[in-house]
């Protein structure tokens, strides 16, 4: 499963990319608003750091506006993925961009039928929002499983990008459910490495090594 980081914070993106764990980045208007910076400048800078897919979302809600904005975003860098809402106009725009060879990420997916529509119009990625479904007492991970089954049934090439991930357990569950990608907040990525037994074992190793009085250097 590929790891994307869900942020517009440059420092976190640089730090995570240097680890070799990061395959791409997703942004959205809310994340960019938190950064307080110019949207297009942020996207260009991110694309210069991470060579993998960088999702940049349109702000328009109508087809013509989405096409106009998507064209601008796609020209910012070769690795930009135009992010579009899961509406009829968004699906229509997705189909248009697919015909032009522009990669797309259809966002705010909450049902298998929505995911099916996105795949039929040629979306590169579909973004089901796990955490937001959990918030209203629905099984977000069940949606990933259902989409995986549907896509496998018909050999759709649209990749499942698990979004709205809130915990390390979400990452594990998304991987088990067959998500192609998980887009994860930096705070959760950092937690993935943590385990009390790893920490305790390392502390004991350090203690035992010091007792030898030796040095590797």
Per the residue annotation, which of 83, 95, 199, 207 is the catalytic one? 83
Q: Which residues pair with 182 in a beta bridge?
A: 3, 162
Q: How far apart are CA 125 and CA 129, in angstroms?
A: 13
CB-count burial class (<10 Å; 0-12, 13-18, 19+) for 163: buried
- Distance, C-alpha 103 to centroid of its chain: 14
Asked about 83 being catalytic, the answer comes back as: yes
Q: Active-site residues: which are they?
A: 83
């Amino acid at each position: 499963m590929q790891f994307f980081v869900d942020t517009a914070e440059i420092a976190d993106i640089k730090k995570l990319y240097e680890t070799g764990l990061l395959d791409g980045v997703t942004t959205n208007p809310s994340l960019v608003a938190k950064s307080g910076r110019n949207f297009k400048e942020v996207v260009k800078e991110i694309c210069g750091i991470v060579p993998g897919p960088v999702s940049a979302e349109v702000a328009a809600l109508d087809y013509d506006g989405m096409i106009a904005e998507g064209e601008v975003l796609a020209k910012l860098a070769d690795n930009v993925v135009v992010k579009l809402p899961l509406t009829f106009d968004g699906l229509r725009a997705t189909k248009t961009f697919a015909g032009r060879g522009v990669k797309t990420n259809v966002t705010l997916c909450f049902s298998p039928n929505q995911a099916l529509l996105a795949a039929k119009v040629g979306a590169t990625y579909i973004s089901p929002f796990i955490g937001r479904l959990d918030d209203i007492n629905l099984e977000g991970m069940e949606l990933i499983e259902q989409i995986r089954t549907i896509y496998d049934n018909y050999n759709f090439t649209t990749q499942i990008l698990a979004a709205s991930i809130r915990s390390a357990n979400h990452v594990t569950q998304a991987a088990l459910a067959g998500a192609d990608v998980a887009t994860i907040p930096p705070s959760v990525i950092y937690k993935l490495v943590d385990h009390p037994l790893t920490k305790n074992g390392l502390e004991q190793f350090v203690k035992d090594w010091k007792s030898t009085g030796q040095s590797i250097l």
